[in-house]
Amino acid sequence: MTHASPPDEPPATPESAADTLTMLRAMAARGLLRQGTLARGGMATIDAVIDPVLERRMAMKVISPALSDDAAAVAYFVREAHITGQLDHPNIVPVHQLGVNDAGQPWFTMKLVEGETLEARVVRRLRRPAEPLDPGELFDLVGVLIKVCEALEMAHARGVIHCDLKPLNVMVGDYGQVYLMDWGIARLVTPASITDDPGNTVENPVSTYVPDLPIDGVMGTPAYMAPEQAEAGALDERTDVFALGGLLYFVLTGLAPFEHPDPMEAMRRAHRVRCTPVEELAPETPRGLVRIVERAMSRDPTARYPDIGTLRAALQRHLRGEGAFPEVTVARGEHVVVEGDAADAAYVIVRGRCQVYTRREGRHSRVGELGPGDVFGETAILAESTRTASVVADCDTVLLRVTAEHWEQALTDMRPWLRAFVRALATRFKEQLDRTAGGAQPRPSERLNLALMYLTTWGVDDADGSVTLPWAAFAARMQRDHAVPERALAIGLSSIEGLEIDAARDRVTLCEPRRALDRLRRRLVDDLCVDDL
């Protein structure tokens, strides 16, 4: 390999195949063209270079001259290039060439990533005035970690664990690329799936002509390492699971889990897994992400996510809003909520059925029945009021329990104006229920508003922007919940422009829902009534 400066004159335009080949040979003979140093450390220097044949800009990593005769240093350097070069994945930087220069220093070239490290990105956010982490920004940062998981998932499947996950080793490109860097102390292992089932085999396992070297002491970054790594114990995929949990901890708090200026103290903290809880450093953190950190960073490897793919799936479920709510089972005849009690959670029925009733003048009055997919209890939480009805399991029933904390977090994530609207709607709906419970009948326009709210909330969105529901089920729900007869409902809805009822095909369709709600809002303001509804 040689370093050269670009020629003053461009090569002559070839006129034949022989001329083209001659030009290629001449350009290749010039070697890589050095453009300057990008970074310099105790172990190596990284330069920007250009391949004159392809005119491709690359990064070249060259071992420090002082380490050229250090057998272990040279072995680790060459091993890094050899292993990384076999890990072909969109989130792992490609290695192009590996060689030795005239001074006897090994070097390798790789894709030049222009962007910033995950550490720089998080620190840049922390320099802003104190404020909660924006939900959109948190979404993006968790997305970066998901891509890191995908890189590790492939590496683990091929028998490689990274062993040095930290924010400095994650690069975020200018156009959204994410790369897991620096595989210098990666270890070759037998994947757990192979250990558990000897019948399995590793597909295309990574190999190297530089074998695993004996480890003298602990290698890695103490601020992020797993306890088994801190005590120089046996390592496997779950070691990277722990460190990925440490990366999430950093994203949420801006601190390394075992941050300390003294590396030995950081090592002791890593060994004991002693770190400040996320909630103390960042109280606004979604509880779902806190649980992911806690499980990934369990001291006992068997209590962690069993593999990086399972951790990735947990992060993806959080971003989609899935899996955040615990399931509860209520036996037949037991109350789920009791009228008059304080509201601490809402519920979604997964399996089973529930009966809804209220108590008036010493008597129970059945209000309705709920089945799979139905929700209840949300109004009392949003309006900060007590339960307006009791719900009893009609059979053994499984429900998702959405706590008031979940609701508050969801409201916090909303834009302020939207949060105000949701609370106002819940309060007005609660007031309407109270009026009805007290014997006062809602105005026809109010009942029509309830019908439109139900239709726009639960209707299926069509391609043209309209919403559709089965007419029979819709009419039955309005009859059951709001005492609106089917005929009166049909007459009232007929006054809504763009609303069509097709009883023969069992469907009700509302075109341009936003305009319909705007018109009805004006009608409510003017306190107009709809005849026969």
Q: Which residues are catalytic?
A: 164
Task: Specify whether the CB–CB gap between 467 and 509 falls below 8 A.
Answer: yes
Count CA atoms closer than 13 A to 530's CA, side-chain side. Answer: 23
- Could you give the 3-state DSSP secondary structure of residue 391? strand
Distance CA 142, CA 302 (A): 24
390: which strand partners? 357
Task: For 138-257, list the strands marked E by DSSP.
Answer: 160-161, 170-173, 178-180, 187-188
Distance CA 84, CA 155 (A): 9
Q: What is the DSSP letter of 1?
A: -
Distance CA 509, CA 72 (A): 73
Q: What is the DSSP string of 280-324?
A: HH-TTS-HHHHHHHHHHT-SSGGGS-SSHHHHHHHHHHHHHT-S-
Q: What is the DSSP string of 120-151?
A: HHHHHHHTSPS-PPPHHHHHHHHHHHHHHHHH
342: which strand partners? 386
Q: Output phi, psi for 343, to 5 deg.
A: -90, 120
Q: What is the DSSP string of 424-454?
A: HHHHHHHHHHHHHHTTPPPPHHHHHHHHHHH
Distance CA 235, CA 248 (A): 21
Radius of gyration of the chain (CA): 32
Q: Can you list the alpha helix ranges (DSSP code H) found in 321-403?
A: 378-382
Task: Specify whether the CB–CB gap between 305 and 311 falls below 8 A.
Answer: yes
Q: Is the dihedral of CA 301, 213, 63, 6 positive or negative?
A: negative
- Could you give the 3-state DSSP secondary structure of residue 493? helix
Place of tokens 């995908």: 150
Q: Which of 312, 185, 199 is nearest to 247 (CA)?
A: 312
Number of neighbouring beta carbons within 10 Å of residue 232: 12
